[in-house]
Amino acid sequence: MDEVQAHEAFKGSMLREIDIMREMLSSLLQEESFLLTKDQHSWSRLIHERHGMVEQLQHSREHRDRAAKKLKDYPFASEEGECEISLLIDQLKALTDKVQQQHQRNQALSKQMQQGAYEHNYATFFYAEAQAKKPLLTTISEVESLEEE
């Protein structure tokens, strides 16, 4: 494998992983919707489908790791190539953070629903990213009262 092939293999593996992470984030957002509407059938189907995504992600990461090991033998020939890989790594990190935040949000919502403390007609979730890394439950009536003030 030559330098160009090594860089292209790594770039391709990063792009594939980013695509899967986007699908995962979309799936987590759908899960939130199904939890809010208490659609157990759709939620179960989605969780089953996500199992396949997790396997794809695992294979993609293994492929990326192999490509990264091969890339160690070839330093970047240009700043452009190095910048492109850096941008892909940043995208992957940002997506990973968003996936983790949404997963935590869904877990909190699921827990609230299991405890019976959530009525889907009167509450919704908002994430206070600037203030904390944990989900924050805010009811619609609380939001409306804040808007009135």
Could you read off the pLDDT of 23-43 as tens digits, one per residue? 999 999 999 999 988 888 999
Tell me, yes or no, whether 135 lies in a domain: no
Q: What is the pLDDT of residue 78?
A: 65
Tell me, yes or no, whether 19 lies in a domain: yes
**Strand 136-139 vs strand 123-126: parallel, antiparallel, or unpaired?**
antiparallel
Which of the four pLDDT bands, split at 50, 70 and 90, describes residue 6?
confident
Mean pLDDT of 79-102: 90
Tell me, yes or no, whether 63 lies in a domain: yes
Mean pLDDT lowest for which of 7-11, 74-78, 96-100, 103-107? 74-78
From the list 100, 94, 114, the residue with the least C-alpha distance to 35 is: 114
Q: What is the pLDDT of residue 117?
A: 54
Contact 126, 140 (CB under 8 A): no
Could you read off the pLDDT of 53-63 as tens digits, one per residue? 999 999 999 99
Query: Mean pLDDT score of the chain, rounded to an integer?
Result: 79
Q: What is the CATH number of the domain that holds 44?
A: 1.20.58
Which of the four pLDDT bands, split at 50, 70 and 90, describes residue 1?
low
What are the distances in angstroms from CA 143 to CA 10, 34, 36, 123?
A: 46, 22, 17, 10
Tell me, yes or no, whether 146 lies in a domain: no
Tell me, yes or no, whether 54 lies in a domain: yes
More confident residue, 141 or 21: 21
Tell me, yes or no, whether 123 lies in a domain: no
Mean pLDDT of 122-127: 41
